[in-house]
Amino acid sequence: MPLEWSGFSPELLLVLDRGGGRPLRAQLEDHLRCAIRTGRLAAGERLPSSRELARTLGLSRGLVQDCYAQLLAEGYLVTRGGSATRVAAGAAAPPAPTAGAAPAPRLLADFRHGVPDLTAFPMADWLWAVREAGRALPREALDYGDPRGAAALREVLAGYLRRVRAAAAEPDHLLVCSGYAQGLSLTLRALARTGVRTVAYEDPGSPGPVRAAAAVAGLRAVPVPVDEQGLVVDALAATDARAVVTTPAHQWPTGVALAPRRRLALIDWARARDAVVIEDDYDAEFRYDREPVGALQGLAADRVVAIGTVSKSLAPALRTGWVLCPPALTDRLCELKQIDDRGSPVLDQLALARLIESGRFDRHLRRMRALYASRRTALLAALAEHAPGLPVTGLAAGFHAVAWLPEGAHEGRVVAAARERSVGLYGMSANRASGAGDPPRLVLGFGDVTERAIAAGIAAVGDLLR
């Protein structure tokens, strides 16, 4: 797409050889022809005015006008009275076809997990918050700031986490980061500097991201099983890990909450082992059939690193998260954040702070909680109709469910057959450390799929689930 300019002449980099003996006009014509033929200048793109290009290149305006006239005659350029000179349509060579996979066909329903309803992003509220933040932005806020993040957001976030998650949150020990991935990477690298050599993670869980972050930090990653009460702490104690990544409020992907006794046992393990618990506090905002579960960090602020984001509550594209650090790790995390990117974008931070303190963030969460509850009901109704008796778990919070396929079913074949019917299903195997497809399970996300699509999708694959 050509650039649009209003009232200003675009810049164009051209280099002329004044010592080679070749006429400058011929050089200029050749440079422009080459730029157009190779696609450096796209069809419809505006050229600098003859006056501006002459000034930039140190040429006479008449010479540039003669050059433009020649290229107009050859069909490379077009112009109209009162309009800028532009590259003619069809003058540039067509772009070479790029090798790659054909675009994926449109699905009747895509039950991908981990993605909120992207159409429900509160755009009007976000733009309001950005304007409000920009209106009050002090000049010094545009400079390099505290790598922990804007003080205003850390203050608001600390209050929010105390109020909603029962966290022991202090602004000085909050670090704003670019989503969960960076928060986890920073934490594991900081722990490696303290002598940690092994990190454990839940199985099933998120083996890919944890293994990748551990490899960057130079750590070994080991899986620890999960049962109906959450992470098996006795199995964790049998490893040499001094750090563990866990999802205690809503275990990913099984959906179970870490049982109270296990929560206390996990903290005891951390204190006895001189270890750190890394709490991925995802999906905590969306609960339906149970009492709220507070953050584990609130029970042991000196032993728990809590990582949260707005990827599920607002949108992944905002790339905004936070790390609630134990005091002993705060300085190391800040140092690594400074090395990584010198801090996250300030205007977005201030906009998020304004969104939260205005109450609009809470209002959005209430609306989304009702929306996801309605979709959960639609999913259960569709399964009851088209795959009666299929066990479904993990629905007390969040926006995904786990469907237990019949014994003997082949998870991969069910997923492939559903894709042939234009329905996206996803197996549990990707969340297991071994990648095994047995026992066969499906992780059904309903965050970014409408009720109508849920009903149609389950109807199309109901026989595969029975």
pLDDT tens digit sequence for 304-341: 999 999 999 999 999 999 999 999 999 999 999 999 99
Measured distance CA(262)–CA(235) in Å, rounded: 12
**CA 327 to each of CA 301, 309, 324: distance values in angstroms, whole numbers, following the listed order:** 8, 20, 9
Instruction: Please state at what angle helix 61-74 crosses helix 24-37, rounded to 10 degrees.
Output: 40
Q: Are 117 and 448 in contact (CB under 8 A)?
A: yes
Domain 24-87 has CATH 2.170.190.11: no
Tokens describing residue 389? 């008796």
What is the CA 319 to chain-centroid distance, rounded? 5
Tokens describing residue 211? 């293994």
**Which residues have a Cβ under 8 Å from the Cβ of 101 and sit 6 or more positions away?**
none
Measured distance CA(323)–CA(314) in Å, rounded: 18
Measured distance CA(78)–CA(47) in Å, rounded: 10
**CA 252 to each of CA 230, 241, 414: distance values in angstroms, whole numbers, following the listed order:** 10, 20, 22
Q: What pLDDT does residue 206 have?
A: 94
Q: What pLDDT does residue 33 have?
A: 93
Measured distance CA(352)–CA(308) in Å, rounded: 14
CATH dotted code for 121-358 = 3.40.640.10
What is the CA 122 to chain-centroid distance, rounded? 17
Measured distance CA(234)–CA(216) in Å, rounded: 28
CATH topology of domain 109-116+365-465: Aspartate Aminotransferase, domain 1 (3.90.1150)
Q: Are 284 and 165 in contact (CB under 8 A)?
A: yes
SS3 250: coil
Q: What pLDDT does residue 8 have?
A: 62
Strand arrangement of the beta sheet that strand 392-393 belongs to: 392-393, 400-404, 441-445
Pairing verdict, β 230-231 and 220-227: antiparallel
Tokens describing residue 229? 């009460």
Tell me the average confidence (pLDDT) per consecutive run of 10 residues in the chain, 466 residues long: 56 88 92 92 90 93 94 90 83 67 80 95 97 93 93 96 94 96 98 97 96 97 97 98 96 94 97 97 77 89 97 96 96 96 95 97 95 96 96 91 94 96 96 94 96 97 94
Per-domain boundaries in the chain? 24-87, 109-116+365-465, 121-358
